[in-house]
Structure 1
Amino acid sequence: MSNSLPDLHSHLSQLRKPILDSLSKTPYTPQETSTISVKSTLESLLSIESPVKDFALACALLSSSRCSTHELLTWIPSQLSTAAETAFSDLSQAYNDALPGREKRNLAGDLMPEILPVLKDKIKESSIDKSDETDEFSAASARAPVGFAILAAYQFRWFVSQIEYPDLGKMIILVVPCALTCLDHWSPEVKGQGMISFIHVAKNVKAVELDSYGDVILDACCQNIASDDEIWQYVVEMSVLLVTCIQRDNPRSLWFEKMLNEMLSHLERQPRNKERRIAWLKLIEPIFNSIGLLILAHIRRIFPLFFQWMHVDDDETILLVLKRVQTVVRLTWLRHTPYVERLLDELVVLFKEAALRKAREEIRTDIRNLLIMLQQCKGLQFERAWNKHQDDPNLTSLACNLSASREYTRCQA
């Protein structure tokens, strides 16, 4: 790069100095548990002799501090992050100005072939050697402090996030191995950055560009579903996006079944974990839509969770459950399931409970819509189940809605 762009380095020296000056004035006290100095690492990357790639790595780390709560990066002030982002943008502009012709290039993308293999090796240094049964976390960190892997994971995620469709698809051969190395690491912080990277990949590449890595990626997703609370949302979002992308035309794929079973097993072990259930309920819809009628194979595990979550103490969970139940009913019409009467009973109880909730009207509206859907798809089975509730004085408005729907359906017929 230096031979083809001789003017870039002189421009780089102008950008580097104010960042280095600001960095030197920033207070920094390493955490007692930390075995590395992030400030020293940044100063080394910003030294006068350092090449363009090191400056880019420093900017990646400084910019990443915006979205991190990890102790290694929280000491970096926002103005320093902003300065790094502006400097890299200026360098990118200078890079494009120095290129012959009018073609615009992405500096971060052009640096990735040189940078990503280095970051991958940094992450792998403190990974657990699975071939060595005695190799545990402490032994892995003894080989190389895990802090270096955490910094490298943040840098990797930053570089990936700089490339979008359609350019990212051309770099899959570089990005996927490094992202998989993140997912294979024992640190939740490293895993999380790999997951965020895969989420960006799933949103910015063509499905066919992931096909050659499909089984390896989806296996890594399944292996990581039992992740820590702090990254559960990432693993669910990543897994849903990737399985629906890679298995887009194959609703009978065993990967859908395996992924759903892994998620449900994890939720069954911790059904009262609010953050986990909300994340899953928010993100699972694309899998439901992809497998359609095949949701019926999982109904016996899904509905007991739904019934439990309908009566928890937070309205967000309840509203999400009602939306997901609507999806299941729409896609399956609850064919050959034993849960029609139980579902109706639970909805009636929830309709009454809603009187004491802040989201009362929204909850009751969703229940009405659900009962009308059940009425239309289950017919006589619904009517028989509803008979025991129709004279309940607390359900007068609900009975009127169902009667109106019944009359409308009769008229349409």
Structure 2
Amino acid sequence: MSNSLPDLRSHLSRLTKPILDLLLKTPYTPEETTKVSTKSTLESLLSTTSSVKDFSLACALLSSSRSSTHELLAWIPSHLSAAAETAFSDLSEAYNDGLPGDEKRNLAAELMPEIVPVLKEKIKESLIDKSDEIDEVFAASARTPVGFAILAAYQFRWFVCQVEYPHLGKLVNLIIPCALTCLDHWSPEVKAQGMISLIHMAKNVNAADFGWYGDAILDACCHNIASADEIWKYVVEMLVLLVTSIERDNPRSSWFEKMLNEMLSHLERQPRDKERRIAWLKFVEPIFDAIGLVVLAHFRRIFPLFFQWMHVDDDETVLLVLKRIKTVIRLTWIWNSPYVVRLVDELVILFKESALKKAREEMRTDILDILTMLQQCKGQQFETAWEKHRNDPDLTTLALHLSSGPTFKAESVVEGVAIQDIHGQ
């Protein structure tokens, strides 16, 4: 460390006492089934002989309670979390005291080589033993209570999220093995913290920094697509960010196809699950942009879901579907597709349905945009599909806008790439 350890410890003792006092005054009644006492763990980390490492681990747990409803952390009051965050910030300033701005170091990053291997081992202690054929989860919990892994996973995620670009790239070889250990755990709570860590990494490191870990990371992503409902949003965001980062220069990568097929299979099994469809619709666009014309190969699975979701009683879903449809048309001009006529019909139905929806104006704007795009790129095919709706008195607004729009056909080549080259389509 840049500062002398005795000076830092002196500063540390001044910061520790008020936090420990607040902790001791905080009521704590753990659940009867809980085998781990978070308060005892914190008291141990904040003891009078506390080191910089232990103090930082305590701050990580206390701060993590802000983003958790888990019973192990939910009891921690916000003022105690805030005090811990302020104390760690003060310690970081003391660590950098006297250093010029361009030489200041990130205390969390400096501590990670010492802390992350320890946390990884704690998480591994309750991993499933694949050789146990009786009750794998029970056997894992019997060896070591899962609560220790959950606390370690929260601490790990907190440390990772304290470091940003460009410094995080230097810690990839340290962070990824622990993150993958989290993803390999059976507990959704542990998995989630690993996913949040990888999401943060995807936003703060260059694709080249992942190095030879790329396939291992993407394989772990695929294996977690069928995770518990409560962490699906993390699964999708993590997967999209990582595959588009690692495979950004290879739109025909098998990883794109594999991940899209896995996600679509999961959505087809639960098409009425609101949280799952919203998360997918919200995060999937970068994959569409990355693979471009290759989206055509997935039309037979994507459009049936789009048509179903366009009419659900949920404005957020409907608006997201319309925006993803615009993206698909922009990328592919839905060349030689059997879905053009059906899409026009479904949009007309939705236009009428939207009269009773709160987001009516935004929906109708998107519908008009899509129909205009279809008119421009599908030419006569669009005109034929629109003809049966042209004189509908409920569609006067649409008819006025579409009657004067110029049309042109672009059905042989899109973005200079022959359609026949897309998986034999």
TM bin (shorter chain): over 0.9
Equivalent in the alignment of 2:161: 161
Contact 1:129 1:135 in 2 (8 A): no
Name the CA distance, whole Å, in 2 between partners of 1:100 and 1:344. 63
Q: Structure 1 residues 354-363 or 92-101, which shifts more?
A: 92-101
Contact 1:128 1:135 in 2 (8 A): no
Task: Provide the identity percentage.
Answer: 77
Q: Residues 268-279 of structure 1 correspond to what in structure 2 (within 5 A)?
A: 268-279=268-279
Displacement of 1:135: 5.1
Cα deviation per residue 1:248-268 (whole Å; 9 max; x = unaligned)? 100000000001011101100
Name the CA distance, whole Å, in 2 between partners of 1:320 and 1:271. 15
Equivalent in the alignment of 1:223: 223
Name the CA distance, whole Å, in 2 between partners of 1:16 and 1:349. 64
Name the CA distance, whole Å, in 2 between partners of 1:169 and 1:133. 40
Equivalent in the alignment of 1:263: 263
Equivalent in the alignment of 1:171: 171
Name the CA distance, whole Å, in 2 between partners of 1:230 and 1:299. 28
Equivalent in the alignment of 2:44: 44
Aligned residue pairs: how many? 409
Q: Residues 101-120 of structure 1 correspond to what in structure 2 (within 5 A)?
A: 103-120=103-120
For residues 2 and 103 of structure 1, do their structure 2 counterparts lie closer, same or farther at Cα, with a shift above 3 Å needed? Answer: closer
Name the CA distance, whole Å, in 2 between partners of 1:336 and 1:126. 53
Equivalent in the alignment of 1:328: 328
Equivalent in the alignment of 1:78: 78
Name the CA distance, whole Å, in 2 between partners of 1:165 and 1:324. 30
Name the CA distance, whole Å, in 1 between partners of 2:383 and 2:175. 56
Displacement of 1:157: 0.4
Name the CA distance, whole Å, in 1 between partners of 2:105 and 2:15. 20
Name the CA distance, whole Å, in 2 between partners of 1:102 and 1:388. 68
Name the CA distance, whole Å, in 2 between partners of 1:119 and 1:83. 23
Equivalent in the alignment of 2:298: 298
Structure 2-normalised TM-score? 0.94
Equivalent in the alignment of 2:363: 363
Equivalent in the alignment of 2:384: 384
Name the CA distance, whole Å, in 1 between partners of 2:7 and 2:298. 62
Cα deviation per residue 1:139-171 (whole Å; 9 max; x = unaligned)? 101111000000000000000000000000000
Equivalent in the alignment of 2:419: none
For residues 102 and 224 of structure 1, do their structure 2 counterparts lie closer, same or farther at Cα, with a shift above 3 Å needed? Answer: closer
Name the CA distance, whole Å, in 2 between partners of 1:345 and 1:72. 52
Name the CA distance, whole Å, in 2 between partners of 1:102 and 1:21. 36
Name the CA distance, whole Å, in 1 between partners of 2:3 and 2:111. 15
Name the CA distance, whole Å, in 2 between partners of 1:154 and 1:314. 33
Displacement of 1:3: 9.5
Displacement of 1:134: 3.4
Contact 1:282 1:320 in 2 (8 A): yes
Contact 2:2 2:96 in 1 (8 A): no
Name the CA distance, whole Å, in 2 between partners of 1:100 and 1:366. 52
Displacement of 1:336: 2.3
Equivalent position SS for 1:281:
helix
Equivalent position SS for 2:308:
helix
Displacement of 1:356: 1.1
For residues 273 and 368 of structure 1, do their structure 2 counterparts lie closer, same or farther at Cα, with a shift above 3 Å needed? Answer: same
Contact 1:7 1:98 in 2 (8 A): no
Displacement of 1:217: 0.2
Contact 1:351 1:367 in 2 (8 A): yes
Contact 2:11 2:94 in 1 (8 A): yes
Q: Structure 1 residues 142-151 or 93-102, which shifts more?
A: 93-102
What one-letter code is carried by the residue in structure 2 that aligns with 1:366? D
Structure 1-normalised TM-score? 0.96
What one-letter code is carried by the residue in structure 2 that aligns with 1:315? D
Equivalent position SS for 1:81:
helix
Displacement of 1:98: 6.7
Equivalent position SS for 1:50:
coil
Displacement of 1:102: 6.8
For residues 320 and 19 of structure 1, do their structure 2 counterparts lie closer, same or farther at Cα, with a shift above 3 Å needed? Answer: same
Equivalent in the alignment of 2:6: 6
Name the CA distance, whole Å, in 2 between partners of 1:368 and 1:401. 8
Q: Structure 1 residues 4-13 or 347-356, which shifts more?
A: 4-13
Say yes or no: does 1:151 pair with 2:151.
yes
Equivalent in the alignment of 1:136: 136
The answer for unaligned runs of 5 or more in structure 1 is none
Name the CA distance, whole Å, in 2 between partners of 1:10 and 1:328. 60
Displacement of 1:69: 0.6
Displacement of 1:130: 2.4
Q: Structure 1 residues 227-236 or 132-141, which shifts more?
A: 132-141
Contact 1:319 1:363 in 2 (8 A): yes
Equivalent in the alignment of 1:28: 28
Contact 2:251 2:292 in 1 (8 A): yes
Name the CA distance, whole Å, in 1 between partners of 2:394 and 2:137. 58
Equivalent position SS for 2:141:
helix
Equivalent in the alignment of 1:214: 214
> Superposition RMSD on alpha carbons, in Å?
1.7
Cα deviation per residue 1:161-184 (whole Å; 9 max; x = unaligned)? 000000000000000000001100
Name the CA distance, whole Å, in 1 between partners of 2:120 and 2:392. 64
Equivalent in the alignment of 1:375: 375
For residues 102 and 357 of structure 1, do their structure 2 counterparts lie closer, same or farther at Cα, with a shift above 3 Å needed? Answer: closer
Contact 2:2 2:95 in 1 (8 A): no
What one-letter code is carried by the residue in structure 2 that aligns with 1:47? S
